[in-house]
Amino acid sequence: MKERILFVCVGQAGGNIGQLLAKKGYITYYINTSYDDLSTIKADSTFKYHVPGASGCNHDRQKAISYTKQFYQNIIDSIETKFPVQDIIFFVFSLGGGTGSGISPVLLDLLSQKNPHKTYGAIVVMPSSDESLKIQVNALECYKQLMSVEGLKNLYVLDNHKSTNIFEINQRFVELFDDFMNITNPDKRGIIDNAEINTILNTRGNVFIGKIKELSSLQLDFHKENEETPIVSFSWILDNYIDNSIFTQFQPGCRYLAISTANDIDIKIIEKRFGKPLDIFRGYNDTHNLIIAAGMPFPKFALKKLADTVKKEQKNIYVEEDNFNIDIPKLKFDFNKPKKEENKNVDFDSIFKKYM
């Protein structure tokens, strides 16, 4: 499975995560408008693409989109020529930056229409509330455009609110994703196979990966001397039972659950947190309890909170009202829909009209 995956890491944030993925043995390709940013990445020049004549975008998404319109054919050719056998492609970028948030939605849209037989996903970073208003507006615009990419499957939303150390969040994600890809380790009690992993990777919607703790490890003290029994809500138990240390707030309602555990886990507790899925894939290992929830609704609440923050600050800066009207599409699943054939006649001009 690992050899089938390509991570296209766009912009500085994408490059930071990409280098951690490369250390785990994944295939990574770096795209940037800043030559200085690219020069800090320890990778062969074959795996780097500097947009010709560009010297960075300085958080200007439209500038990045203009570069994409000018050089999209070169970029697409470089990806398809250098990585012809990789059929699971993730774009990695920050929602709030200029280069990554500007280039990535366009390329995802173009490539997923051109190659519908391949699987396209995105790993994105949500800005924290203390970042600049420009970055937060970028995130809203980028997210809205991502939702219009019909060929987008998995979406992983890392949340910079979760830690003051963004590199810690990046490292944690890479470790969790690698655990996910190694979930197929044989165990006589049962395994999650590659076909089931492939099903998850081809599921459209928000994805969560996390570790499950044993309830006994929470050390809940329900009976304290000379005090009434404290009331602990079930939601509090769930939030402490399932580690959500890096992903943005998600809504219940998943299509698939994949669970690989060293201990017996009460599935009903998991379903209380994520919703009852269409199917559950079970496996076992000797070291940890891992859960993957796929096909969840895209994170509407997190973006609504971001939009509210921008609205409160709009008196200080002009922001178009369209930036706040985020319509989250309902997920519609066709369980028997076959993959389309390669489309060599994509109308690129009509696609770009959505972004310019």
At 289 the pLDDT is 87
At 214 the pLDDT is 62
Q: Buried (b) or exposed (e) across 218-229, using 16+ Cβ within 10 A? A: eeeeeeeeeeee
Q: Name the average pLDDT for the chain.
A: 84
Quick one: average pLDDT of 50-66? 92
Q: What is the pLDDT of residues 207-216, one digit of tens each?
A: 999 988 765 5
Beta carbons of 157 and 126 less than 8 angstroms apart: yes
CA 199 to chain centre: 16
Please give the angle made by the CA atoms of 162, 282 and 175, to the nearest 5 degrees.
35
Quick one: average pLDDT of 150-179? 90
| Residue 83 DSSP symbol | -
Residues 6+ apart with CB under 8 A from 227: none
pLDDT at position 191 over 60: yes
Which domains are seen in the chain, by residue range? Answer: 2-182+299-332+345-352 (3.40.50.1440), 208-296 (3.30.1330.150)
Distance between CA 124 and CA 349 in Å, rounded? 26
Please give the angle made by the CA atoms of 325, 93 and 139, to the nearest 5 degrees.
20
Q: What is the pLDDT of residues 69-126, one digit of tens each?
A: 999 999 999 999 999 999 999 999 999 999 999 999 999 999 999 999 999 999 999 9
More confident residue, 160 or 28: 28
Distance between CA 172 and CA 164 in Å, rounded? 13
Q: What is the pLDDT of residues 230-274, one digit of tens each?
A: 444 555 556 666 777 799 888 889 999 999 988 777 788 788 888
- Residue 315 amino acid letter: K
